[in-house]
Amino acid sequence: MTLHEALCRVAKSLVAMKAFNQKLLAEMGEDPDALMFPRNKFSDEQNRQRDQMKREHETMMEGFAADPQLRQHMVPWMIDFEGDESPKGIEWDKHEKGNVDRKDFVAAVRADFGELPRKVRAWIEEHHFEISDSGSGCGGWHLGVPCSDKDAARLCQLAQDKLKVYLDAGVLTICLRFWGWRFEDVYTNDAAEEFLKARGVS
């Protein structure tokens, strides 16, 4: 199977699932564009149908992931860069046993610590990676970067080398998480619709 054929199948599947959910919501008098809707609002049969469509989509993606030619175009990993929103509670004595120079640590948690998320964002973009998810709140901040197998390994290594002072100081954490089998061009409903429309596929 060619990449184009695989992308068309994935896009059609995503669009079909969205259309099915919109149909159910409309029949119930709910907003058909609702992003989240409790399962208990649907009947058992409706949930069974929704689950079946999801399983069929996942099985299809797992099959594509087993094809090395298609796998290289997938972005199954999410690298999360995470930090504390307020670093003032961080005390040096918590890091005395670590391999961190005091000067470097102070620099990492300086008064304008709010710059760290912006510095990390700029660093990610400087290395030509795309941030797909970001947020902040009382619990901290995070930046998410979807990656292929190859790019995940490269970005993790770069981060360990270039952001070492923040990692060693404990004010930045980098996590590699499995994101699911996805193709970069069609991993959202909107992207799937745009993909099919641009190619005149119905």
At residue 139, does pLDDT exceed 70? no
At residue 127, does pLDDT exceed 90? yes
**30 confidence band (pLDDT: 50, 70, 90):** confident
**81 and 170: one domain?**
yes
At residue 111, does pLDDT exceed 80? no
* Predicted pLDDT of residue 190: 87
Q: Which of 111-115, 137-141, 183-187 has the highest mean pLDDT?
A: 183-187
* Predicted pLDDT of residue 99: 54
**69 and 88: one domain?**
no
SS (H, E, C) 45-80: HHHHHHHHHHHHHHHHHHHHHCCHHHHCCECCEEEE
pTM of the predicted model as reported, rounded to 2 decimal places: 0.75
Number of independent structural domains in the chain:
2
**5 confidence band (pLDDT: 50, 70, 90):** very high
Q: Per residue in 41-70, pLDDT tens? A: 888 999 999 999 999 999 999 999 999 999
* Predicted pLDDT of residue 96: 47
**108 and 142: one domain?**
yes
Q: How many percent of the chain have pLDDT more than 90?
A: 52
Among 24-28, 144-148, 195-199, where is mean pLDDT lowest?
Answer: 24-28
**67 and 82: one domain?**
no
**137 confidence band (pLDDT: 50, 70, 90):** low
* Predicted pLDDT of residue 92: 45
| Host domain of residue 144 | 77-178
Instruction: Name the more confident of 113 and 155.
Output: 155
Helix, coil or strand: residue 187: coil
**36 and 7: one domain?**
yes
* Predicted pLDDT of residue 133: 85
* Predicted pLDDT of residue 132: 87
**100 and 161: one domain?**
yes
**37 and 67: one domain?**
yes
- Helix axis angle for 3-27 and 44-65, nearest 10°, is 170
Distance (Å, whole) CA 10 – CA 62: 12
- Strand arrangement, sheet containing 133-137: 133-137, 140-147, 77-83, 172-178
* CA pseudo-torsion sign 120, 191, 177, 154: negative
162-182 per-residue burial string, b: 16 or more CB within 10 A, e: under 16: ebebbbbbbbbebeeeebebb
* Predicted pLDDT of residue 112: 42
At residue 7, does pLDDT exceed 80? yes
**117 and 172: one domain?**
yes
Within 8 A by CB and 6+ apart from 83, the residues are 116, 117, 120, 140, 141, 142, 166, 171, 172, 173
**57 and 146: one domain?**
no
**167 and 193: one domain?**
no
